[in-house]
């Protein structure tokens, strides 16, 4: 995983954020172009970090994986409104077209796996009754318990994006807040005060690598206030 993350980082960046749509919000019987066309304003995934979620409008690099959407779901029903996504030849091309629109200019890789994510026991059964056994959305609740969900389609990504500036700079502020001189056990464990301060400075510098336009017109104090 470390080497994979390294392939998505450059210009001093070392961290990527994990995102996932679990399950991928696919209506039963809909095609992949239909599903993505319904999410033109915002990508249908959530940040897996504990940091407060922010809408990501751009990114530097990303690797996206979609699994559980079979090839027979690539075409629309007759008479349904078409979009540029419907002219794509395969699922990888659909994803490429969609994410090129969402994040123009980003370095991106895409992978499609037909096998869905297995959600049978002991997977936590926290699903909505609006899901079929295969994890697709229904218009109304089904008759059996959500514990009957056996698999789900998933959209996931590792992404290097400006959202990491807020996450890393927030972490840096939290670490600066306490007076560590009052925690003698912290330093008796082998951590030196100078080493700790140096690590904080490195973390601050790393966070600035994810800030759009850093150094163009803002000071460091302005960068920390974001």
Do residue 11 and residue 113 come from a single domain? yes
Count the domains in the chain.
Answer: 2
Q: 218 in a domain, yes or no? A: no
Residues, the chain, total? Answer: 226
Please tell me the pTM assigned to this model.
Answer: 0.78
Do residue 34 and residue 126 come from a single domain? yes
Q: 90 in a domain, yes or no? A: yes
Do residue 127 and residue 177 come from a single domain? no
Q: 219 in a domain, yes or no? A: no
Do residue 116 and residue 189 come from a single domain? no
pLDDT digits (tens, 9 = 90+) for 99-149: 999 999 899 999 999 999 999 989 988 888 888 889 998 877 665 555 588
pLDDT surpasses 50 at 216: no
Do residue 119 and residue 174 come from a single domain? no
Task: Please give the share of the chain, as a percent, with pLDDT higher than 90.
Answer: 29
Instruction: Identify the residue with better confidence: 77 or 121.
Output: 121
pLDDT at 224: 42
Split at pLDDT 50, 70, 90, the class of 206 is very high
Q: Which long-range contacts (CB under 8 A, 24 or more apart) does 142-145 make?
A: none
DSSP, residue by residue, 8-61: T--TT----EEEEESS---BTT--HHHHHHTTSSS-S-EE-SSSPP------SE
From the centroid of its chain, how far is CA 216?
Answer: 28
Do residue 83 and residue 170 come from a single domain? no
Window from 135-144, 168-177, 208-217 with minimum mean pLDDT: 208-217
Q: 220 in a domain, yes or no? A: no
DSSP 96: H
| Cβ atoms 67, 112 nearer than 8 A | yes
Do residue 39 and residue 102 come from a single domain? yes
pLDDT surpasses 70 at 223: no
Q: 216 in a domain, yes or no? A: no
Do residue 20 and residue 115 come from a single domain? yes
Window from 45-59, 119-133, 188-202 with minimum mean pLDDT: 45-59
Q: 148 in a domain, yes or no? A: yes
Structure tokens at 7: 């392939």
Do residue 132 and residue 111 come from a single domain? yes
Q: What separation in angstroms does the CA of 199 have from each of 16, 102, 171, 173? A: 19, 35, 12, 13
Question: What does pLDDT average to over the chain?
Answer: 81
For the stretch 133-170, what's the b/e string if a residue is b when 16 or more beta carbons lie within 10 angstroms of its beta carbon?
ebbbbeeeeeeeeeebbebbbbbbbbbbbbbbbbbbbe
Do residue 105 and residue 41 come from a single domain? yes
Instruction: Tell me the mean pLDDT in the region 47-57.
Output: 73
Domain residues for the domain of 146 are 1-160
Do residue 127 and residue 170 come from a single domain? no
Residue where a domain stops, chosen among 99, 132, 160: 160
């Amino acid at each position: 995983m470390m080497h994979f993350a390294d392939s998505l980082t450059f210009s001093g960046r070392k961290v990527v954020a994990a995102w996932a749509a679990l399950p991928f919000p696919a209506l039963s019987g809909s095609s992949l172009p239909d599903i993505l066309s319904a999410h033109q304003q915002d990508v249908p995934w959530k940040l897996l970090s504990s940091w407060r979620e922010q809408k990501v409008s751009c990114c530097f690099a990303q690797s996206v994986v979609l699994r559980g959407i079979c090839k027979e779901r690539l075409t629309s029903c007759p008479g349904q409104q078409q979009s540029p996504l419907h002219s794509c030849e395969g699922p990888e091309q659909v994803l490429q077209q969609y994410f090129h629109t969402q994040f123009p200019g980003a370095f991106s890789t895409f992978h499609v796996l037909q096998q869905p994510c297995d959600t049978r026991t002991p997977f936590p059964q926290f699903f909505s009754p609006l899901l079929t056994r295969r994890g697709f959305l229904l218009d109304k609740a089904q008759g059996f318990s959500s514990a009957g969900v056996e698999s789900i389609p998933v959209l996931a990504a590792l992404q290097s994006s400006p959202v990491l500036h807020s996450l890393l700079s927030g972490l840096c502020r939290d670490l600066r807040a306490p007076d560590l001189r009052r925690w003698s056990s912290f330093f008796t464990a082998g951590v030196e005060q100078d080493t700790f301060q140096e690590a904080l400075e490195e973390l601050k510098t790393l966070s600035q690598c994810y800030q759009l336009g850093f150094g163009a017109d803002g000071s460091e104090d302005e960068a920390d206030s974001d």
